[in-house]
């Protein structure tokens, strides 16, 4: 009985993106044995097109604890000390300043770079690459869960028993669908193209010189350009790369949607930061209550995170509609960047996102 009490609790995390790896770090720090299941055959490498992302100070503090050396994160990021919004007249090829924040405190990274440093800070056997989640079965006493997996290279079927199952498999989560099968994702009313442009080999080209002239503070500035029915985002990443996103109003496309841990519209730089703080709070709650009181730990986790995430998702959704010139309700007038003044623009500034300064990590 004494040996049973001291048995190391085990967690299975489905999804090996940044959210899943963050949960692994948080649970390992509390003494849990963790296995991450990821259907990709191997870790991402190199610098594919991918995407850039921005990290708030609180999320960076959490990551630095996992990495053990603040210089690691610092070396793969660039500062974003300025947030700048401007209206663009495409016909006249002019721009007009809407608002500017010179006290922005984020840093930006390429998704692959951030994933790589978080992954390398884990023990080598933590992630099972090339394994696909198939199903789950909860024990009658709800004390354990059996997860069925498929090894993609061999088609072998495995079963793994754990005390805790974490669904980090995105907004299209099979695990979430198991518990709330009637939940449907809702189209935002607009779509986006995004990418990363590598100009390291062509730094003196006319295109890059033109971009640098139009956006002179690239390298430490988050730019937003607005026109009627669309807007774009631009910021620079390490190794001479430009991250760009272009949003445009359009009917719902007949294609598979993007998949992220938090299905927030990406206007408030929140999704990755939300996932990191999710992991941090989960670890703190489990550490506080211990594995023998897992239900209470999860109740506290929900009590801490649900109000924060709800407000940030709703704020992000509202910001997206405003920036695209879409009505929030039947009575609201749309945001027009051509006529907007400073008072009209405060709602699209990052600083006005709920819990911008500090996200609570306990009740």
Tens digit of each residue's pLDDT (9 = 90 or more) over 257-287: 555 555 566 678 888 999 999 999 999 999 9
- Residues 277-314: b if buried by 16+ CB within 10 A, e if exposed: bbbbbbbbbbbebebeebeebeebbeebbeebbeebbe
Residue 188 has pLDDT above 90, yes or no: no
Q: How confident is the model at residue 185 (pLDDT cuts 50, 70, 90)?
A: confident
Least confident window among 1-10, 29-38, 300-309, 320-329: 1-10
Instruction: Tokens 């080209």: give the residue.
Output: 205
CB atoms within 10 A of CB 224: 24
Task: Look at residues 22, 111, 105, 117 and name the one whose alpha carbon lies nearest to residue 72.
Answer: 117
Q: What is the DSSP letter of 252?
A: P
How far, rounded to the nearest angstrom, does the alpha carbon of residue 31 sit from its chain's CA centroid? 25
CB atoms within 10 A of CB 134: 13
Strand partners, 231: 226, 247
CA atoms within 13 A on the CB side of 246: 8
pLDDT value of position 264: 60
Contact predicate 361/277, CB 8 Å: yes
Q: Copy the structure tokens of residue 82.
A: 């300025």
Distance from C-alpha of 58 to C-alpha of 359, rounded to nearest angstrom: 8
Topology given in CATH for the domain delimited by 45-123+188-250+261-352 = FAD/NAD(P)-binding domain (3.50.50)
pLDDT value of position 260: 57
CB atoms within 10 A of CB 185: 9
Tens digit of each residue's pLDDT (9 = 90 or more) over 316-349: 988 988 899 888 876 677 888 888 887 788 888 9
pLDDT value of position 46: 64
Tens digit of each residue's pLDDT (9 = 90 or more) over 109-151: 999 999 999 999 999 999 999 999 999 999 998 889 999 999 9
CB atoms within 10 A of CB 347: 13
pLDDT value of position 54: 94
Count of H helices and E strands in the chain? 10, 16
- The predicted model scores a pTM of 0.92
Distance from C-alpha of 138 to C-alpha of 155, rounded to nearest angstrom: 24
Q: What single string gives the DSSP state of each residue in 306-318?
A: HHHHHHHHHHHHH
Residue 255 has pLDDT above 80, yes or no: no
As a whole number of angstroms, the longest Cα–Cα distance in the chain is 79
Q: What is the DSSP letter of 262?
A: S
Q: What are the two backbone dihedrals, phi and then psi, of residue 168, each rounded to the nearest 5 degrees?
A: -115, 35
């Amino acid at each position: 009985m004494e040996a049973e009490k001291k048995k190391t609790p085990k967690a299975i995390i489905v999804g090996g993106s940044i959210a899943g790896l963050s949960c692994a770090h948080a649970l390992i720090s509390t003494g849990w044995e963790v296995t991450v299941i990821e259907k990709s055959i191997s870790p991402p490498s190199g610098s594919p097109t991918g995407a850039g992302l921005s990290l708030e100070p609180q999320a960076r503090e959490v990551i630095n604890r996992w990495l053990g050396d603040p210089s690691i994160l610092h070396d793969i990021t660039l500062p974003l000390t300025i947030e700048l919004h401007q209206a663009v007249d495409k016909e006249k090829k002019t721009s007009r300043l809407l608002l500017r924040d010179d006290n922005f405190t984020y840093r930006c990274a390429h998704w692959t770079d951030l994933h790589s440093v978080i992954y390398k800070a884990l023990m080598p056997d933590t992630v099972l690459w090339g394994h696909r989640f198939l199903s789950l079965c909860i024990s009658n006493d709800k004390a354990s869960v059996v997860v069925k997996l498929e090894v993609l290279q061999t088609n072998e079927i495995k079963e793994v028993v754990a005390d805790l199952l974490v669904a980090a498999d995105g907004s299209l989560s099979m695990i979430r669908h198991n518990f709330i099968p009637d939940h449907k994702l809702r189209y935002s009313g607009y779509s986006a193209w995004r990418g990363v442009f590598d100009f390291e080999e062509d730094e003196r080209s006319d295109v890059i010189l033109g971009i640098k002239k139009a956006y002179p503070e690239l390298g430490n500035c988050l730019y937003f350009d607005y026109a009627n029915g669309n807007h774009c985002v631009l910021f620079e990443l390490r190794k001479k790369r430009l991250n760009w996103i272009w949003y445009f109003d359009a009917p719902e496309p007949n294609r598979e949607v993007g998949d992220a841990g938090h299905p927030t519209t990406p206007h408030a730089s929140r999704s990755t930061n939300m996932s990191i703080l999710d992991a941090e709070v989960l670890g703190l709650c489990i550490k506080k209550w211990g594995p023998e009181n897992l239900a209470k730990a999860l109740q506290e986790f929900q009590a801490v995170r649900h109000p924060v995430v709800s407000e940030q998702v709703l704020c992000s959704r509202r910001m997206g509609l405003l920036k695209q010139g879409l009505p929030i309700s039947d009575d609201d007038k749309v945001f027009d960047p051509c006529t907007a003044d400073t008072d009209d623009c405060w709602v699209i500034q990052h600083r006005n996102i709920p819990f911008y300064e500090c996200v609570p990590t306990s009740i």
